[in-house]
Structure 1
Amino acid sequence: MKVAYVFATAGQTIDHVLGDMILPQLEAGTHGADVVGMFFFHDNTYALREDDPLGQRLADVAADQDVLLMLCDQCAARRGLAEHDRTDKHGRDRYEATNTVEGATVGCFPDLYDALGEVGIDQVITL
């Protein structure tokens, strides 16, 4: 089964649920599902900061297992993790990730749909 996670809840979700539960299973190859993407909102974007131990673990797993790591563009920009890059032909502001782990991207729902559209996701889990 192919799944994507959306991390929208502030608090213990990132440190405990992702850091202590999901990520160790991914690192050990025992998660039981093929995780194809993770999308981070609000303060959860801080998990993908450059030099963050959790972020580096995520980046390593993402590189090894071909997992998309995407931060909400506006959430990331407000936290110094993205900079305005340009405005596209549809008038939508586009951002570039800054101060993040390698492989992290920024975008909005249309970008997430585009990036994961061909993968064939079976389940989206919001935490």
Structure 2
Amino acid sequence: MKVAYILNTQSAGWYKVGKMILPQLEENRHGVEVVGIFAFDENAYMLRKGDAVGERLSKIAKKKNILLMICDQCAVSRDLADKTGENSYSPKNTVDGVRVGCFPDLYTALSGNMPDQVISL
């Protein structure tokens, strides 16, 4: 089964991903294929360049083809993206592989590797 995680509650990134999901992914024991992680609000900070959890997540995302995306408005307001056009953003100060966008961008990015379940954390 393929899943995508939406991180929309306080501390979902550092606690639920950092302490539970990420170690399981690193040890190949998560039990499902993770195809995407979409971060909102303060969870975006987990994907800052230099963040220990974010750097580990970036490495495993590259290895396992996991989409890492930050909500565009959340990223801009936290200095993690620049607006480059009407509906386009460029990540900055983030770990490698992060994309920035809104739900339409998420749907497009996942369209080639659709999840069976979307889990909100």
- TM-score range relative to shorter protein: over 0.9
Size of the aligned set, in residue pairs, is: 121
Q: What does the per-residue CA deviation read over 1:23-79, in whole Å, with 9 as the maximum and x for residues that have no partner?
A: 000000000000000000001000000111010011001011000000001100000
Q: What does the per-residue CA deviation read over 1:71-118, in whole Å, with 9 as the maximum and x for residues that have no partner?
A: 00110000000001112xxxxx31100000010010000000001112
Tell me how far apart the structure 1 counterparts of residues 8 and 30 of structure 2 sit (CA, whole Å): 21
Partner residue of 1:98?
92
Partner residue of 1:6?
6
Equivalent runs, 1:12-23 vs 2, <5 Å? 12-23=11-22
Tell me how far apart the structure 2 counterparts of residues 83 and 120 of structure 1 sit (CA, whole Å): 27
1:16 partner SS: helix
Q: Name stretches of at least 5 consecutive residues in structure 2 with no aligned partner.
A: none
Tell me how far apart the structure 2 counterparts of residues 16 and 44 of structure 1 sit (CA, whole Å): 10
Which stretch of the first structure deviates more once superposed, 111-120 or 44-53?
Answer: 111-120
Partner residue of 2:119?
125
Tell me how far apart the structure 2 counterparts of residues 84 and 120 of structure 1 sit (CA, whole Å): 27
Partner residue of 1:90?
none
Tell me how far apart the structure 2 counterparts of residues 112 and 52 of structure 1 sit (CA, whole Å): 23
| Native 8 Å contact 2:14 2:43 kept in 1 | no
Partner residue of 1:38?
37
The sequence identity of aligned pairs, in percent, is: 50
Per-residue deviation, 1:120: 2.9
1:109 equivalent to 2:103? Answer yes
1:77 partner SS: helix
Give RMSD over aligned pairs.
0.8
TM-score (norm 2): 0.97
Larger radius of gyration: 1
1:31 partner SS: coil
Partner residue of 1:47?
46
Equivalent runs, 1:62-73 vs 2, <5 Å? 62-73=61-72
